[in-house]
C-alpha cells in the first residue's frame, strides 16, 4: 500500500470493526466510542431475519422488536423495542450456537451494554417483563413461521422432490408457554423499518416531548439519551452515563 492510500484509509477500517449503514465503523474493542444511530439500527434489523433465515416466509428482527414493545407494560415498551440493540453489529446469533461460543456472547453483551447506555437504558436494569414476553413471542413465531413439513427425498441436483408433514415440534425454550392468540403477518423489510422508527419516535417523544421542538439541538454525533427528566416513566432508564 502506498503512503497516499494508507493516509486516505479511514481509521479503524481494519481489525475489529465493521462498516455500518451510516458510513461509520463499529469497533468491537471500543463499542462505546462507535457512532451507531437509530436509523442505522433500524435499517439493519429490518434486513435481518429471525431464526437464521429458516422461517417459512421472510420475517425480520425489526418486526419482532416492534411486536415486543406492544406485549409488555407501557413503561417497559422502549426497553422492549431496544432489547436486540446489539444485533445490528453482531447479527441475530441463534441461541444454540451462542451457547457453544461463550467468548462470542461476551462480545455481544459488551456491545449490547454500550448501545443501550447510548439510548439511555441501563443494561443491568432490564424490566422483569422482557424475558417472559420474549419467550411468548418466540413460541408464537415458532407456531406461525417455522416449517410444517420436512424433505424426505431429493433429486440428483439436491432439490427436494418429496415431503412429509412434521408432527408438532416442542422446543425446550418454549415448553409450557402459550403463544399469543393472534397470528403474526410478516412485513416487508421496508415496512418493518418504517414501523420500527415510528415506534421509536412515539416512545421517545412521549417521554421527552421537548426533543420534537423546532429548536431542539442538533449534534455532530448520535445523541446520548437521558431519561432522568422524562415526563413519562421509562423502565430501565440509566441513572448516569
Q: What is the pLDDT of residues 164-215, one digit of tens each?
A: 999 888 898 899 999 999 999 999 999 999 999 999 999 999 999 999 999 9
Question: What is the per-residue pLDDT for 7?
Answer: 45
- 107-111, 165-169, 197-201, 224-228: segment of lowest average pLDDT: 165-169
* Residue 11's pLDDT band (cuts 50, 70, 90): low
CA pair distance 94, 100, nearest whole angstrom:
10
Q: Count of alpha carbons within 13 Å of 49, Cβ hemisphere only?
A: 11
H or E stretch including 44? Answer: helix 38-46
Give how far Cα 77 sits from Cα of 38, 82, 104, 110, 112, Å. Answer: 16, 9, 27, 22, 17
Question: What is the per-residue pLDDT for 170?
Answer: 87
CA pair distance 164, 38, nearest whole angstrom:
43
The DSSP secondary structure of 175-192, one letter per residue, reads TTPPPPSSPP-PPPHHHH
Say yes or no to pLDDT of 30 above 80: yes
Instruction: Calculate ∠ Cα 88-134-117, nearest 5°.
Output: 45
Q: Are 98 and 105 in contact (CB under 8 A)?
A: yes
The DSSP secondary structure of 113-144, one letter per residue, reads HHHHHHTTB-TT---TTHHHHHHHHHHHHHHH
Give how far Cα 216 sits from Cα of 6, 36, 38, 128, Å. Answer: 39, 20, 17, 33
Give the mean pLDDT of 40-64: 97
* Residue 95's pLDDT band (cuts 50, 70, 90): confident
* Residue 3's pLDDT band (cuts 50, 70, 90): very low
Question: What is the per-residue pLDDT for 15?
Answer: 80
What CATH code is assigned to 14-127+186-229?
Answer: 1.10.3210.10
Q: What is the pLDDT of residues 66-91, one digit of tens each?
A: 999 999 999 999 999 999 999 999 99
Q: Are 73 and 129 in contact (CB under 8 A)?
A: yes
Output phi, psi for 149, to 5 deg.
Answer: -145, 165
Predicted TM-score of the model (pTM) = 0.91
Q: What is the pLDDT of residues 117-170, one digit of tens each?
A: 999 999 999 999 999 999 999 999 999 999 999 999 999 999 999 999 998 888
CA pair distance 68, 164, nearest whole angstrom:
33
Coil vs helix vs strand at 24:
coil
Amino acid at each position: 500500500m502506498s503512503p497516499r492510500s494508507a493516509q486516505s484509509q479511514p481509521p479503524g477500517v481494519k481489525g475489529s470493526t465493521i462498516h455500518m449503514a451510516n458510513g461509520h465503523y463499529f469497533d468491537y474493542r471500543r463499542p462505546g466510542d462507535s457512532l451507531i444511530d437509530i436509523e442505522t439500527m433500524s435499517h439493519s434489523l429490518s434486513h435481518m431475519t429471525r431464526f437464521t433465515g429458516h422461517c417459512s416466509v421472510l420475517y425480520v428482527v425489526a418486526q419482532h422488536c416492534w411486536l415486543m414493545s406492544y406485549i409488555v407494560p407501557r413503561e417497559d415498551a422502549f426497553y422492549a423495542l431496544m432489547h436486540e440493540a446489539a444485533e445490528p453489529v453482531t447479527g441475530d446469533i441463534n441461541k444454540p450456537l451462542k451457547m457453544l461460543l461463550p467468548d462470542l456472547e461476551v462480545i455481544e453483551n459488551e456491545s449490547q451494554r454500550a448501545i443501550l447506555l447510548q439510548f439511555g437504558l441501563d443494561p443491568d436494569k432490564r424490566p422483569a417483563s422482557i424475558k417472559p414476553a420474549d419467550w411468548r413471542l418466540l413460541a408464537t413465531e415458532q407456531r406461525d413461521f417455522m416449517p410444517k413439513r420436512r424433505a424426505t427425498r431429493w433429486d440428483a441436483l439436491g432439490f427436494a422432490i418429496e415431503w412429509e408433514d412434521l408432527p408438532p415440534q416442542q422446543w425446550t425454550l418454549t415448553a409450557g408457554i402459550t403463544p399469543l392468540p393472534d397470528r403474526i403477518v410478516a412485513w416487508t423489510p421496508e415496512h418493518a423499518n418504517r414501523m420500527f422508527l415510528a415506534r421509536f419516535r412515539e416512545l421517545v417523544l412521549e417521554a421527552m416531548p421537548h426533543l420534537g421542538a423546532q429548536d431542539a439541538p442538533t449534534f455532530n454525533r448520535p445523541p446520548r439519551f437521558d431519561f432522568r427528566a422524562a415526563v413519562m416513566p421509562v423502565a430501565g432508564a440509566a441513572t448516569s452515563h
